[in-house]
Chains A and B, each alone.
Chain A
Amino acid sequence: MSIPFIDAIRGYLQGDGAVILPEMELTLFGLAVLLIGYPLDESVENNWFWKLLFKNFYAKAALAGTLFSGFTLWKLRGAVAASARGYLPGFHESVVVDSFFPFFATLFLAATALVILLSVKYLDIEEEQEGEYYALLLFACVGMMFMASGVDLIVMFLGLETMALSFYVLTGFLRREKRSNEASLKYVLLGAFSSGILAYGFSLIYGLSGTTNIRNISAVFNPRIGLARAIELSRQSGVMGSQMRQVLSAEYPAALHLEPSLLHQMPVLAAAAFVLIAVGLFFKVAAVPFHQWAPDVYEGAPTPVTTYVSVASKTASFALLLRLFLTVFAASQETWVYLIAGVAVASLTWGNLAALTQTNVKRLLAYSSIAHVGYILLGLVAWNETAFTGIAFYLLAYVFMTAGAFAVIIVLRQKGLIGEELEDLNGLYQRSPASALLLLIFMLSLAGIPPTAGFMGKYFIFLSLIETKHPVLAVFAVLYIVPALYYYFRIVVHAWLKAPGEAPRPVMSSAQAVALGVAVFVSLAAGLYPEPFTRLAHYAFGP
């Protein structure tokens, strides 16, 4: 028996729908969390089954969504491997599932799951336990996944905005808290500003190439720039010019009579498009000098959201950036490499030096994350296989070690104690040895001391810089580990070596324990036995 409606859905799910199935599932779970209310009376409290099901129902549903989506993603990965072309296109090649997508999508889902686990107790303390929060987390994740799978400028932009809008709301989720509101407003205004810049860049590319699909853009774009340069050369005197004139008159005679000023504008406009897009994305990843929202937003947002912004939003923006740079702007890498190098060095310098004097842990980690962006951007400067593996590995390590560091701060948040200042960490070792040990491991990893994940990430970046003959940048990058260690160890000093004050013992919920366990496992495993992780990172940029 065939029901046309069901058949249509089944057909859809085997065709285009298969490509966006993980996102669809997440959306459905998000909608479910939004729409389903649940009974909260004594019968729930007293019956173990109802309690298991309904206590923190929203969080459990959202977590189930990420697990479900992750499972689908796993199966999708198998389908990618089995496919003839090595990737699965959908919706007229505007969404693509290749090896790049599962890697980043897994990171986003993992980050989302960690944040959900970390949020439950935090929201209880803040008395803001709402379904919308978890729905927004899932929607943000959907947006990020489209940022990684989209190969069409419009899909990418939509993905980015879905993510960003969710974040704007999440940042201001503590309605009664002034800091949270202020951060949210700042984030919205600046985010809109940067999105405008990004959209302008997109529109320029569209204007120059006549298509929004990035595969087509790179097919059209780079030859056109090449042609423009050829025509420009042919107008010059000398041997080179005359040779170029002969080539052009043989192959493309019309070119010799084109309006010169238009031709001249082509590469310059492409350059402008590049800069606009880069600036829009630099804002999202918080690279200097587009980073200033980061410390304020990190400090003001509820700490789980800070974690999410710092970890997932940055990774997703890097995914988008890599997708664009590796296709549309790949051919012109040698022209923009200095620009990226400049931004990278600025981020390293500013991030590391500004972090030295911070007294708020969240702000300190904000600046340190700016420094991490500098390292990742150096991978783009190196631009070889090691560098791409390194970027992927670095992002992987970054997700777990940063989430872990913030998780410890979240554990410190107790009733009547904010726990975000360095002073609040005093004597953490005496109050909770396990959290202090975890904090130490995350700090070592963030600083890049072996054998931790953070070291391996840096290892690949440094190696790629040496391979591509950038010794000065390499020395520069490597020496910044020293101040970085200093400020990370300021946190350690407060947690381990200062006497505890009046602060109470932090109590870790089981959800927090699971999140910390996962984060510390990856941070250590990827350092002690990096082999599977390096393979994974290598896989992200093509089998």
Chain B
Amino acid sequence: MLASISIAGLGIWLAIQFYRTKRFAPELVARKWPKAYGLLFHKYYVDEIYDATVVNRVKDLGSVLGTFDANVIDGLGVDGTGWLARFGSTLSMWWDKWVIDGLLNFGAKMTQLFSFPVRMLQTGMFSSYAMLILVGLVILLAYYGHHMQVLLRGVR
């Protein structure tokens, strides 16, 4: 306790001697013991050692990761997602336009196609109309006659 106080007191006294009263100039000490002065001036080189071993190494990693971020994560990941999204939306618009609307338009096309048989049968000629009536009659007769025959033979 006493020792530490006296060391501290000594330190304070020395500092006053050096910088306030200038009884000993620091330059004088530096000239007399240049090595000790350098060591003390650089605080035993702790910062430099720390910089060289830890700080700069972390910085290096950061810049590596930064590059990775810029090129890999952003490039492939974020922008890639953007690209994927654009691709996906192009694809889905394409789907909308061609597949779903296409199905609807297919219906319209079918309708257009269907107008041909209508026109073909709707000749306006009496004979063809009568013919179709006969054909229809025969089909119905054949169907119903057959149906009745089947019913008659029924349970065998």
Contact surface of A with B, Cβ cutoff 8 Å: 185-186, 189-190, 193-194, 197, 229, 232-233, 236, 238, 240, 264, 267-268, 270-272, 274-276, 278-279, 283, 289-290, 292-293, 295-296, 335-336, 338-339, 342-343, 350, 353-354, 356-357, 483
Complex: how many Å from CA A243 to CA B147? 25
Distance (whole angstroms) from the CB of B8 to the closest CB of chain A = 100
Complex: how many Å from CA A174 to CA B113? 35
Complex: how many Å from CA A149 to CA B145? 31
Residue from B112, B140, B155 within 8 A of A279 (CB atoms): B140
Residue from B111, B137, B151 within 8 A of A197 (CB atoms): B137
Q: Chain A's interface: helix, strand, loop or mixed, by majority?
A: helix
A293-B149 CB under 8 A given contacts A274-B144, A276-B137, A354-B118: no
Closest 4 CB pairs of A and B: A357-B115, A289-B136, A354-B118, A292-B129
Interface readout for B123-156 with A: 1 if CB under 8 Å, 0 if not? 0101011101101110011011101110110111
Is A356 in contact with B133, judged by CB distance below 8 angstroms?
no
Residues of A within 8 A of B137 (CB): 197, 275-276, 279
Complex: how many Å from CA A354 to CA B152? 39
Is A339 in contact with B118, judged by CB distance below 8 angstroms?
no
Residues of A within 8 A of B148 (CB): 267-268, 270-271, 335
A229-B152 CB under 8 A given contacts A278-B140, A279-B137, A293-B129: yes
Is A236 in contact with B155, judged by CB distance below 8 angstroms?
yes
A289-B132 CB under 8 A given contacts A240-B155, A275-B137, A357-B118: yes
Is A236 in contact with B129, judged by CB distance below 8 angstroms?
no
Complex: how many Å from CA A433 to CA B64? 77
Is residue B121 contacting chain A, with contact meaning CB distance below 8 A? Answer: yes
Provide 25 A-B residue pairs closer than 8 Å at the C-beta atoms, listed in order of the A residue: A186-B129, A190-B130, A193-B130, A197-B137, A229-B151, A229-B152, A232-B152, A233-B154, A238-B155, A240-B155, A264-B152, A267-B152, A271-B145, A271-B148, A278-B140, A290-B136, A335-B147, A335-B151, A336-B144, A339-B140, A339-B144, A343-B140, A353-B114, A356-B114, A357-B115
Q: Chain B's interface: helix, strand, loop or mixed, by majority?
A: helix
Complex: how many Å from CA A292 to CA B114? 16
Complex: how many Å from CA A268 to CA B141? 10
Is B143 in contact with A339, judged by CB distance below 8 angstroms?
yes
Query: Could you count the A-B residue pairs with CB atoms below 8 Å apart for me: how many are there?
Result: 101
Is A296 in contact with B124, judged by CB distance below 8 angstroms?
yes
Q: For B142, give the chain A residue with the smallest CB separation.
A: A275
Is residue B21 contacting chain A, with contact meaning CB distance below 8 A? Answer: no
Distance (whole angstroms) from the CB of A487 to the closest CB of chain B = 10
Distance (whole angstroms) from the CB of B110 to the closest CB of chain A = 8
Q: For A236, give the chain B residue with the smallest CB separation.
A: B156
Contact surface of B with A, Cβ cutoff 8 Å: 111-112, 114-115, 118, 121-122, 124, 126, 128-130, 132-133, 135-137, 140-141, 143-145, 147-149, 151-152, 154-156
Distance (whole angstroms) from the CB of B97 to the closest CB of chain A = 21
* Extra A-B contacts (20), CB below 8 Å, given A189-B126, A276-B137: A190-B129, A197-B137, A229-B152, A232-B152, A233-B154, A236-B155, A238-B155, A238-B156, A270-B148, A271-B141, A271-B145, A271-B147, A272-B141, A272-B145, A279-B133, A290-B136, A292-B121, A339-B140, A357-B111, A357-B114
A233-B155 CB under 8 A given contacts A292-B129, A354-B118: yes
Complex: how many Å from CA A232 to CA B132? 35
Q: For B132, give the chain A residue with the smallest CB separation.
A: A289
A275-B141 CB under 8 A given contacts A193-B130, A290-B133, A293-B129: yes
Residues of B within 8 A of A338 (CB): 147
Q: Which of A232, A274, A292 has the most CB of B within 10 A?
A: A292
Distance (whole angstroms) from the CB of A499 to the closest CB of chain B = 24
Q: For B139, give the chain A residue with the smallest CB separation.
A: A289
Is B114 in contact with A295, judged by CB distance below 8 angstroms?
no
Q: Which of A193, A197, A278, A354 has the most CB of B within 10 A?
A: A354
Residues of B within 8 A of A276 (CB): 137, 141
Distance (whole angstroms) from the CB of A309 to the closest CB of chain B = 16
A275-B152 CB under 8 A given contacts A283-B133, A293-B129: no
Residues of A within 8 A of B149 (CB): 268
Residues of A within 8 A of B143 (CB): 339, 342
Residues of A within 8 A of B141 (CB): 271-272, 275-276
Q: For A355, give the chain B residue with the smallest CB separation.
A: B118
A353-B129 CB under 8 A given contacts A233-B155, A271-B145: no
Complex: how many Å from CA A24 to CA B65? 106
Q: For A296, give the chain B residue with the smallest CB separation.
A: B124
Is B156 in contact with A354, judged by CB distance below 8 angstroms?
no
Q: Which of B114, B133, B143 has the most CB of A within 10 A?
A: B133
Distance (whole angstroms) from the CB of A192 to the closest CB of chain B = 10
Distance (whole angstroms) from the CB of A224 to the closest CB of chain B = 14
Residues of B within 8 A of A335 (CB): 144, 147-148, 151
Q: For A244, give the chain B residue with the smallest CB separation.
A: B155
Distance (whole angstroms) from the CB of B136 to the closest CB of chain A = 4
A190-B126 CB under 8 A given contacts A268-B145, A271-B147, A275-B144: yes
Residues of A within 8 A of B130 (CB): 189-190, 193
Q: Which of B126, B129, B140, B149 has the most CB of A within 10 A?
A: B140
Residues of A within 8 A of B135 (CB): 289
Is B133 in contact with A357, judged by CB distance below 8 angstroms?
no
Complex: how many Å from CA A267 to CA B152? 8
Is A295 in contact with B122, judged by CB distance below 8 angstroms?
yes
Q: For B143, give the chain A residue with the smallest CB separation.
A: A339
Q: For B128, give the chain A residue with the smallest CB separation.
A: A292
Is A194 in contact with B133, judged by CB distance below 8 angstroms?
yes
Q: For B156, give the chain A residue with the smallest CB separation.
A: A236
Q: For B131, give the chain A residue with the smallest CB separation.
A: A292
Residues of B within 8 A of A342 (CB): 143
Is B111 in contact with A356, judged by CB distance below 8 angstroms?
yes
Distance (whole angstroms) from the CB of B57 to the closest CB of chain A = 73
Residues of B within 8 A of A295 (CB): 122
Residues of A within 8 A of B112 (CB): 357
Q: For A282, give the chain B residue with the smallest CB separation.
A: B136
Complex: how many Å from CA A350 to CA B122? 12
